[in-house]
Structure 1
Amino acid sequence: MKSTFVLLAASLVSARLTHQHLRDHSEIAKRALPDRWFQDDAHPVHQLFKRAPSTDGVKYAEVGSSTWSAAFPEGTPDVEKLPAAWVKALDDAVAAGKIPNIPVAKDNGFDNPTYPQGVDPVSPEVCSATYKCRVPGDVWDGPDGTFSTSFDDGPLPPSTKLNSFLKANNERATHFMIGVNIRANPKIFTETFEMGNDIAVHTYTHPHMTAQSNKQILGQLGWTMEIIHNSTGGRIPRYWRPPFGDYDVRVRAVAREVFGLEVVIWNQDTDDWTLTEKDGTTPEKISASMNQWLTGPKSPGLIVLEHELSDQSVQAFMDAYPAIKKNGWKIGSLAKIIGDSAYQNTDPSGNVRPGIVAANVNALNTTSSSSSSSSQSGSTTSTTPSSSSSSSTSTSPSASATNVAASSNSNKNGGLQDASVSFALSLLAPPCALLLSLL
């Protein structure tokens, strides 16, 4: 089993992937961020990740122990071994017409996923972010004047260098983590979390999400959430970033309707994940790009795609840090800048809210219900995304077989330069509505 996973991981991380995208230059209405933003207690996510009384009497397995690691998949989650509660929540959302009936895209390996002939990836019914179609309400830009610090692909050995730098400068970051990397590097995960950094979801094995069935999406997101909250005292992640920036309204709906997750993309890309590649970027190129962005307009705020993938990518952020401060940007953890918490079930002091913690699920003993949903059923959404027509490219890094490393789609030269984050709350279905005040 372990040798099979090593081969699988190696195949996932060794390919060079090319990404071509359309860029959206349309206006998105400016709207203030809510002061407080929690999922309604009626949202299914609180049933999926709740097993304790109001005092939370759960005794979690020690992070890194054999009991802890045995509770999570070694590699790509088996759709036949998903917790029944997750599958029922998906079935209910499909039956309620909340999951769009969009075809699964074809995974082309080196190239972007493609849809069947006649399916327009930038149409309102599909709106693929891979082709730079934006669904109003999703986060691509930061509030004016802000630099939202975040890193993808951890935890990995270079994360320790990043943690030391953040601690020395009294800074925090949002870490979009890969589930199998958490499982493989529990000590680094614990160090990152206990420093006060925010933990978010970057899927379990880093696939193209539009090429996944509904149940595959369920496994990729659900197990990453499960390993995070079982390792953080019951915290339920609030944000996720799709690998390669690849998602559409179907993927978005599964994430939001079942797990309450909110999408975060980016508006600038350092290409730092190519630093270790033969024909990749260089520290000098990253420095030049950072200087251009940091000395440019402060609207919208910067959400720069960066990675804790290698010592070189970590060093690129460290080198840019003085310029971020010098140019007057308000720097902080992405989750705190765009909202007020990285988690769906914490109070303003960061404590887990009683009664909505932990998930009573076990991959080894619980299987999906016999009435599980097909990967393509439901109806289209009524959102009205926007798109346009320029492109950019990027390529993928490689990494060790024991850790899934990411590559990312490129968003060179910006994205929207005249819009701030828009949270179109009115677009969300009632079960996914977010409270604007504390309960």
Structure 2
Amino acid sequence: MSVDLLAVATAARTAMADRLVTDGVLTEPLLRDALLQVRRELLLPHAYLRESGPGVEPIQWRLLDGAHPDDQAEWLDLVYSGDSVLLQRDGEPLDALGRGPVTGGHMTSMSTYAPATVDVLQCLDLERGQRFLDLGSGPGVSLALAAAITGPGLATGVERDPHMSVFAQRNLDRLGLGVVVVEGDALGGHAAGAPYDRIHSGIGVPSLPLAWVEQLAPGATLLTTLVTRTPSWPGQIRATRTRKGRLQVVLTGRPRGHRPLLGYEWLTAVNHRPQFKADPGRPRPTRLAPPDDDAYGFWIAAAYLAPGLVRDFQADTMTIVAPEEDSWAVAGPDDGTVRVHGPRDVWAELEALHDAWERAGRPDTYQVDIPDGGGPQRVTSGPGRMALTWTLPPLASVPHQTSPSLGSCP
């Protein structure tokens, strides 16, 4: 990298950290130091830009090559914008990509949105000397930032994709942080380096793998996205092993989360969009104003207790779809109006659940019981007969990671 480009990258790195501080996202001095130290441009040496619109197939892409003078300014702006950087289509090899227009394929690896990365690492409360495990480490941005805090030789990543694991290791070596990336199934953790003081999963899971909690040291913390069948209402699991070895697991609803692991199929409202736009449904009275978007405790419960629903966030008013039953509810534009369509009265279910959520005390966090040796993982809002309860789906129903696939503290 030329001296001028290095200076531009350094200035961009400082500007990104300053923006995160100004926006109230970045508060930890150690993490700010790490953000200033880690040269993201070395970890993200190229980037795909989507040129075609939503729903257009095959997708039209343009690859920016950070080593090419004509691409460098646009590439560097993207790398330090804080947005996700798209890196790999369909599990492709990453050592001979050609810049310019590319047709077809779907993204199988990307960096995480920078505020989300900062949020997770701050929630983990990283300190010098801690052993850190990053599951589904991708290009290694979170891994590098953690290593800059914990120190050399203490941070390990597990990445299932052989091309990405080699790519990430090569780029991380250029940073000199003493990081190791292991090719393997993230669902199994990495027993050879256990126990760990901090574990972070960059892949969403429907329930908590036992291997992960078994690899937590006393006093350790684990953070992962809990994926539901809808991308609308993810959760975050925080598991802590006390100094005496007791496991405490808390679930909170979240505005966003990591993408799910391979084999997990999300529901989508996209295919029904023309239908509910043309025919929102029959009007009916409602006693429930559309719940607030940030009522995360309600929405994470809805993902389980009103299953099979997905929200279309691009609709003008709150629109909840049950795609498998060809049913939907369109709220608004005022609080006293709702339209419903199909055999399933989606809004009636949400009204009933909202009543139950109110009776349970409007919980925003839930306790998760992880039985020793396996078994159903039970979620509850608390004691008493008014508590909201459900069981997480078994992890065994999702294939292990053997081929390419693709917040506030609780």
**What TM-score comes out, normalization by structure 1 length?**
0.23
**What TM-score comes out, normalization by structure 2 length?**
0.24
Bigger strand share: 2
